[in-house]
């Protein structure tokens, strides 16, 4: 009996010792990183998986024609060409990268810092905040339906999502990273090495992560942000009870030859993807923003900016490139105050010919706002990661 009691005590001590060893070693190795499940193998809403494991865009607008493949026209007009054909794994990897502050030089900000899902993938600020709380020059545009756009940034300086991502990551005033540091950082995180190997199985699993893979994954995720199921869309597809009387009145003002809103903010994306000089005012005390004049080296484009989409516009206040107008009512009223009324006296701008003096009544302006709010749709909102591959905790901003 005595021998059995001794053996039992030794066994218990051995189990306790093994448990302590397991606790210390496991806690040490998981202090920074949490093992993640495999990447999603299903396409996000609005896409269908084909036999080549590619997510292909599917929506009701594909049943309509698109004149000259421009994707602009009336209620039942086809969309322009969209960036699709990414794998579910690429899209899911891009989702992790988008929300992970490890992408910035000091781990202080992620893409979602300026493009918060709960703020229309903008940030609710007049102009965004960059590295070290630096106030930037322009507002953060929404990323909804960004996969359809031909030019990126307010001044159109990027032609692809990959270019846009590279410029943002390596801008000294934004995420302030550099290629060498970004690659070193991600390649030293086991979780990311595993996820990149899963998203890009055609390469050796032991190969290092490369910049084109990072940019492509981020482009894949951003291209999956689709918003095409608003009250307006339901109306456009034939369900006319989707809009009430005042919203229909607002739509008629929007499309009228008097207001001319639809000339630039053309359905179905509610942007013609062109550049326009509208003469919107800068914040008090600031000089004129030259806009597209700089990247295109064209003086006729001084003060020109890319016509933004109006999808989810009610969620992305304040408005204009400088965030000058706090409300939609202020923004629409600007267009009825007179052609070039806010242009500085020492500036000669080539105001877009659609900008004139429609003299809309207060009632018509109110109905315009009613209509613009029918463009809200977040039904395909992506799921936020519960944990990040880097081990950095998600902030309240991101969740």
Q: How far is residue 143's CA from residue 146's CA, in Å, rounded to a whole number?
A: 5
More confident site: 19 or 146: 146
The pLDDT tens digits of the residues spanning 332-350 come to 999 999 888 889 999 999 9
Q: How far is CA 299 from the centre of its chain?
A: 30
Judged against a pLDDT cut of 70, whether residue 148 lies above it is answered with yes
Residue-level pLDDT at 395: 67
Judged against a pLDDT cut of 50, whether residue 306 lies above it is answered with yes
Judged against a pLDDT cut of 60, whether residue 25 lies above it is answered with no
Residue-level pLDDT at 71: 72
C-alpha radius of gyration, the chain, whole number: 25
Q: How far is residue 356's CA from residue 378's CA, in Å, rounded to a whole number?
A: 34
Averaged over 160-188, what is the pLDDT?
98
Residue-level pLDDT at 66: 85
Judged against a pLDDT cut of 80, whether residue 29 lies above it is answered with no
90 within 8 A of 216, measured Cβ to Cβ: yes
Query: What dihedral do alpha carbons 325, 331, 337, 340 form, nearest 10°?
Result: 70
Judged against a pLDDT cut of 50, whether residue 3 lies above it is answered with no
Residue-level pLDDT at 72: 76
The pLDDT tens digits of the residues spanning 134-145 come to 999 999 999 999
Who's near 69: CB < 8 A, 6+ residues apart? 80, 81
Q: How far is residue 128's CA from residue 142's CA, in Å, rounded to a whole number?
A: 12
Query: What dihedral do alpha carbons 38, 43, 45, 50 form, nearest 10°?
Result: -160
Q: How long a stretch of residues is the chain?
A: 399
Q: How far is CA 259 from the centre of its chain?
A: 29
Q: Catalytic residues, which ones?
A: 174
Which of 23-27, 86-90, 211-215, 308-312 has the lowest average pLDDT?
A: 23-27
According to DSSP, residue 138 is labeled: S
The pLDDT tens digits of the residues spanning 236-248 come to 999 999 999 999 9
Residue ranges of domains in the chain, CATH in brackets: 47-227+380-388 (1.10.760.10), 231-375 (1.10.760.10)
The pLDDT tens digits of the residues spanning 347-397 come to 999 999 888 889 999 999 999 999 999 999 999 999 999 999 999 988 655
Averaged over 288-308, what is the pLDDT?
97
Q: Which two tokens stand for residue 279?
A: 């003469």
Averaged over 179-199, what is the pLDDT?
97
Q: Which two tokens stand for residue 13?
A: 């001590």
According to DSSP, residue 332 is labeled: H
Q: How far is residue 345's CA from residue 156's CA, in Å, rounded to a whole number?
A: 26
Residue-level pLDDT at 329: 98
Count of beta carbons in the 10 Å neighbourhood of residue 233:
22
CB-facing half-sphere around the CA of 336: CA atoms within 13 A: 20
Q: What is the pTM of this model?
A: 0.89
Judged against a pLDDT cut of 60, whether residue 291 lies above it is answered with yes
**Cα end-to-end distance, the chain, whole Å:** 60
Q: How far is residue 183's CA from residue 214's CA, in Å, rounded to a whole number?
A: 9
The CA distances from residue 24 to 11, 17, 27, 28, 191, in Å, are 20, 11, 5, 6, 21
The pLDDT tens digits of the residues spanning 207-237 come to 999 999 999 999 999 999 999 999 999 999 9
The pLDDT tens digits of the residues spanning 50-109 come to 999 999 999 999 999 987 777 777 889 999 999 999 999 999 999 999 999 999 999 999
Please report which residue ranges of the chain form alpha helices under DSSP H: 2-29, 88-99, 111-114, 161-169, 179-187, 190-199, 211-223, 231-236, 245-255, 261-264, 293-296, 328-334, 362-372
Q: Is the dihedral of CA 355, 357, 358, 362 positive or negative?
A: positive
Instruction: Determine if the peptide bond prior to 318 is cis (ω within 30°).
Output: yes
Confidence of residue 8 (pLDDT cuts 50, 70, 90): very low
According to DSSP, residue 392 is labeled: P
Instruction: Determine if the peptide bond prior to 268 is cis (ω within 30°).
Output: yes
Confidence of residue 37 (pLDDT cuts 50, 70, 90): low
Residue-level pLDDT at 379: 97
Q: How far is residue 90's CA from residue 45's CA, in Å, rounded to a whole number?
A: 15
Q: How far is residue 390's CA from residue 368's CA, in Å, rounded to a whole number?
A: 45
Residue-level pLDDT at 9: 45
Residue-level pLDDT at 342: 87
CB-facing half-sphere around the CA of 158: CA atoms within 13 A: 15
Residue-level pLDDT at 284: 83
Per the listing, tokens 């923004």 go with: 331
The CA distances from residue 204 to 127, 187, 388, in Å, are 43, 14, 24
Q: Is the dihedral of CA 351, 316, 297, 347 positive or negative?
A: positive
Which stretch, 2-16, 59-73, 153-167, 346-360, has highest mean pLDDT? 153-167
| Helix-strand-coil split of the chain, %, nearest 5 | 40, 5, 55
At 180, phi and psi to the nearest 5? Answer: -65, -45
């Amino acid at each position: 009996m005595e021998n059995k009691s001794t053996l039992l005590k030794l066994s218990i001590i051995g189990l306790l010792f093994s448990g302590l060893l397991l606790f210390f070693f496991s806690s040490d190795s998981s202090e920074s990183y949490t093992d993640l499940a495999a990447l999603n193998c299903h396409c996000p809403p609005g896409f269908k998986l084909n036999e080549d494991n590619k997510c292909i865009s599917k929506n009701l607008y594909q049943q309509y024609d698109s004149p000259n493949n421009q994707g602009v026209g009336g209620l039942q007009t086809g969309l322009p060409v969209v960036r699709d054909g990414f794998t579910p794994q690429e899209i899911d990897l891009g989702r992790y990268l988008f929300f992970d502050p490890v992408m910035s030089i000091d781990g202080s900000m992620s893409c979602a810092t300026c493009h918060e899902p709960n703020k229309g993938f903008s940030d609710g600020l007049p102009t965004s905040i960059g590295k070290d709380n630096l106030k930037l020059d322009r507002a953060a545009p929404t990323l909804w339906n960004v996969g359809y756009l031909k030019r990126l940034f307010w001044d159109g300086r990027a032609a692809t999502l990959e270019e846009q991502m590279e410029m943002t990551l390596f801008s000294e005033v934004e995420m302030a990273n550099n290629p060498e540091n970004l690659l070193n950082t991600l390649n030293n995180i086991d979780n990311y090495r595993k996820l990149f190997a899963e998203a890009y199985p055609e390469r050796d699993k032991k190969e290092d992560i490369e910049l084109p893979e990072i940019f492509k994954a981020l482009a894949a995720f951003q291209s999956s942000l689709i918003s095409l199921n608003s009250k307006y869309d339901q109306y456009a597809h034939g369900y006319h009870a989707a809009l009430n009387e005042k919203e229909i009145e607002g739509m008629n003002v929007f499309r009228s030859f008097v207001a001319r809103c639809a000339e630039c903010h053309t359905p179905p994306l509610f942007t013609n993807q062109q550049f326009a000089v509208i003469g919107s005012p800068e914040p008090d005390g600031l000089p004129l923003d030259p806009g597209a004049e700089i990247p295109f080296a064209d003086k006729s484009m001084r003060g020109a900016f890319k016509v933004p989409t109006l999808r989810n516009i009610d969620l992305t206040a304040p408005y204009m490139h400088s965030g000058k107008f706090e409300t939609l009512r202020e923004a629409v009223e600007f267009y009825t105050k007179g052609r070039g009324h806010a242009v500085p006296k020492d500036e000669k701008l080539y105001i877009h010919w659609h900008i004139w003096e429609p003299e809309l009544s207060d009632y018509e302006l109110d109905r315009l706002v009613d209509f613009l709010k029918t463009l809200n749709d977040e039904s395909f909102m992506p799921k936020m990661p519960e944990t990040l591959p880097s081990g950095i905790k998600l902030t309240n901003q991101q969740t």
